[in-house]
Structure 1
Amino acid sequence: MIDFRYHLVSLISVFLALAVGIILGAGPLKESIGDSLSTQVEALRTDRDNLREQAATAENNAKNQDAFLAEVGPQLVSGQLGGRTVNIIALPDAENDAVDAVEESLKAAGATVAGRVTVNETFASGTERDALAQTLRTEDPELPTDSTSATLSAALAQSLVVPNLADAEGDKARKNLLPQLAEAKVVSAEPDNLGLATLSVVIDGEDETSLPTASSSATSSEVAEQNADQRKTTEEPYVALLGALKQDSAGVVASGTAKSATNGLLTELRDGDTDVSTVDNVNLASGPIVTTLALREQLGGGSGHYGYADGADAVLPEKQTAEPAPEKDK
């Protein structure tokens, strides 16, 4: 057992060490310690000032690039959509600034924006989804019955887009179910009676899928698999919507941020076999431009994934001026 003498010797050693440190700090080492501390403080101040200057320069460069793209953007997209009609669909948490910027770019490309539709969270996870789907199937027996998401997606898609406006005028079987969807508060439209379009842009929000809590025994591959399964479940209703829009229209582009491409809707679209194009920098000045060019590519039957995040094929589509889009839908 450890006796009292051991504790006494330990305490004396501690106090002796403290005393020696105090004496040396106040005596022979005083000047060297003070000089060393002063040098370190001065170095930290210099680093701080340099970092501030670098941050200011980077911010100024970013503003200049945004200003440049704002000037050349309309020229880059001019005439690319040649009189086509587009509907913009904003998913939950989509930034209004991003939606506005995309709309401006589409108009600069010669498109007519029929309107905006905001998809609410209840579209994907509302408690009344099943009952609403059943009501819509009664209204239109042609709607798919595979799942609630398939029914809601098809109902919204057929109410917003068609492959060709001329053919839609004689399609008496097509039902506009947007009022029922709006009344159930799964979507909202602006204006309320927005017309059909042949193209659509879907803008994703910042709220990517939450990572699952890993157990202490879980391996990294198991955690990645759990994350992928959770993301697939969360994004499934929106993937179904993109698929329905693609099937019923002449082209669809999904635009979001790098977060969406890392662990969100764009990840699912890029990992799947869909022909929907994706853009992962809608929050940057270049994003709306690339979105417009990707929509033009869809008109020619092409598709791709664009931006800077994982899964991107290139920064922007190629050969956008080889064959200008037709001026009219008819």
Structure 2
Amino acid sequence: MISYRHHIVSLVAVFLALAAGIALGGGPLSDLGRDDQPAAASTRADRATEQRASYGDQFATASAGALYAGGLKDHPVAVVTLPGADADAAGGLGVQVRAAGGTVAGTYAVQRALTDASEKSLVDTLGSQLTQQLGAGAVSPDSSTYVRIGQLLGLAVATSDLSTADVAAVRESLAGADLATAPDAAPRAPLVLLVLGRHTDPAILAGVVTGLADKATGVVVAGTTAAAAAAGDLGVLRSDPAAHQVATVDGVETPLGQVTAVLALIRSLTTPGGSYGVAGADGAVPVR
């Protein structure tokens, strides 16, 4: 007898195949003997591919509630955006967090200075000052510049280890140095969605991700389809040891990718890591 779980897995496989444009008879051998296809046939093929991709997004949106099964109920999520992150993608992720029963505790915008290698001195100085101010145990004393600032960002958005006053001090310091903005009095959230933007130096990104993962229960790094290319930020991060501590999801400019990211968030409550999406090494969608 086919279980409900197996039924859901099968449905997920179907809509992912459709979204990727996989169709019977669509392989490279299907063009043999048809070197001179009329332009109209090519147009129809392009339209069919677009329709399949659209269907995948529609299916993901319609079935998201059943796939989530309230997996984020009572779990606040912090959304952290890197410079150049797509506002529509970040907003769509927030919608899906709420559809899974969770809440968006706050949206934090990392500013250009934090990810600009020419501003490393500023990042290092502020990190050292805050580490001394917070005292022993808050930040690893031997952390590198960007792992340390990632830990401080994690203290500001995720951890419950600091007092409310100390958290406010970290947030104010990050904002005062134009490194990151924070909403007023936002509650801390153990789950973090880090939304990639324009290109970030790989070493800086890996350091920030490592630091965040040190302080949060679960971190999902979300990037676009383009970012998942071998030379893209997500593609490079996936080859770095830093990625072992977090889940990575590509394609979040689409509803299908946004649903996948929230499924990865749910999974991160119990199991860290994983690489998902069209270019994901661990499969298209994390299935609990």
TM-score normalized by structure 2?
0.76
Identity of aligned residues (%): 27
Pairing of 1:303-322 with structure 2 (within 5 A) = 303-309=273-279, 312-318=281-287, 320=288
CA distance in 1, matches of 2:43, 2:192: 43
* CA shift digits 1:44-92 (9 cap, x unpaired): 8x72222222222332333333222221112211311121011001112
Q: Deviations over 1:178-225 (max 9, x none)?
A: 222122222223x233221111011112x457xxxxxxxxxxxxxxxx
Q: Which residue of 2 aligns with 1:246?
A: 213
SS of the residue corresponding to residue 38 of structure 2 reads helix
How many angstroms apart in 2 are the aligned matches of 1:169 and 1:135? 18
Report the AA paired with residue 235 of structure 2.
T
| Preserved contact between residue 85 and residue 112 of structure 1 (Cα < 8 Å) | yes
Equivalent residues in 2 for 1:143-222 (5 A)?
A: 143=139, 144=141, 146-162=143-159, 165=160, 168=161, 176-189=169-182, 191-205=183-197, 207-208=198-199
Q: Which residue of 1 aligns with 2:234?
A: 266
Query: Is the alpha carbon distance of 1:48 and 1:269 closer, same or farther for their aligned partners in structure 2, counting shifts above 3 Å?
Result: same
Larger Cα-atom Rg = 1
1:31-42 pair list within 5 angstroms: none
How many residues end up aligned between the 2 structures?
A: 245
What residue number does 1:81 align with? 72
**CA separation in 1, counterparts of 2:153 and 2:111?**
13
| RMSD of aligned residue pairs (Cα, Å) | 2.5
Does structure 2 conserve the Cα–Cα contact (< 8 Å) formed by 1:158 and 1:176?
Answer: no
1:115 aligns to what?
106
Report if aligned partners of 2:148, 2:211 keep a CA contact under 8 Å in 1.
no
8 Å CA contact 1:153–1:237 kept in 2: the answer is: no
Contact 1:239 1:265 in 2 (8 A): no
Deviation (angstroms), 1:174: 5.7
Residues 127 and 193 of structure 1, relative CA distance in 2, 3 Å threshold:
farther
Alignment CA distance shift 1:61-1:238 (3 Å): same
Alignment-mate amino acid for residue 46 of structure 2: A
Give CA-to-partner distance per residue, 1:70-122, whole Å, 9 cap, x none: 21112211311121011001112221111111111111111111111122222
Shift of 1:176: 3.9
Counterpart residue number, 1:237: 204
* Letter of the structure 2 residue corresponding to residue 54 of structure 1: A
Which residue of structure 2 aligns with residue 257 of structure 1? 224
Counterpart of 1:104 in structure 2 is 95
Q: 1:248: Cα distance to partner?
A: 0.7
1:170 is displaced (CA, Å) by 6.0
Distance of 1:192 and 1:303 partners within structure 2: 31
Which ranges in structure 1 are unaligned for 5 or more consecutive residues? 1-42, 210-233, 321-330
Is 1:282 the counterpart of 2:242? The answer is: no
2: distance between equivalents of 1:304 and 1:247? 17
Structure 2: distance between partners of 1:61 and 1:258: 17
- Kindly indicate whether the alpha-carbon contact (under 8 Å) linking 2:250 and 2:276 is maintained by their aligned counterparts in 1: yes
Kindly tell me: are residues 297 and 249 of structure 1, through their superposed partners in 2, closer, same or farther at Cα, counting changes over 3 Å? Answer: same
SS of 2:259's equivalent in the other structure is helix
8 Å contact from structure 1 (residues 253, 279) kept in 2: yes
Change beyond 3 A, Cα 1:170–1:185: closer
**Does residue 28 of structure 2 align to residue 58 of structure 1?**
no
Name 2:85's counterpart in structure 1: 94
